[in-house]
Amino acid sequence: MAYAEDPAYCEVCGERLVLREQPEDGPQPWCPHCEAWRYPHFSVGVSMIVYHPDGERILTIDQYGKHGILVAGYVARGDDLESTVRREVREETGLELATVTYNASSFFSPSNTLMVNFVCRAKGSDVHLNEGEVDSAHWVDAHEVLGAMPEGSLARWFVQRHLESRGWGKL
């Protein structure tokens, strides 16, 4: 059914949605056939600022032609965020995590994904890459990491926000 992927159509009956004033949320998609609100769907992903056990270096990876990015992945249906964080770091880098702490979230329009970022500390430093997914990985000094990341990227914004929260000022 082609309409199931188009947010302009109801995923239940296929009727064209109309914007209707929802008392608490403002204008929202409404299905006149089902007489029900059809809120937009989106994916949920996690990204991780992974610290070296020494607490001085942050892991960046090169993946799918992108350089200096964070380990990231999608949350599967039924999974919780923390388990997804641990699974993705282990799958992509072979690292186990000692700590996982929430940092920030932001909606990433290009992939229609709510990205939730965490700050983690690795138990060890020996990276074993999943070569099918990750091209290379680098432990970068935390004071220099922003310079190794793509300007204007969401990953860089997450790291900058985290570093500023540590009192490092505007970097």
Using CA atoms of 163, 165, 170, 171 in order, give the dihedral in degrees to the nearest 10.
0
- What CATH number does the domain containing 71 carry? 3.90.79.10
- Give the structural domain span for 52: 43-168
Average pLDDT over residues 14-36: 92
In tens, the pLDDT along 66-110 reads 999 999 999 998 999 999 999 999 999 999 999 999 999 999 988
How sure is the predictor about 62, in pLDDT bands with cuts at 50, 70 and 90?
A: very high
The answer to whether 28 touches 100, Cβ cutoff 8 Å, is: no
Do residues 124 and 49 share a domain? yes
Do residues 61 and 32 share a domain? no
pLDDT, averaged across the chain: 91
Do residues 54 and 112 share a domain? yes
- In angstroms, the CA 88 to CA 168 distance is 28
How sure is the predictor about 169, in pLDDT bands with cuts at 50, 70 and 90?
A: low
Do residues 61 and 93 share a domain? yes
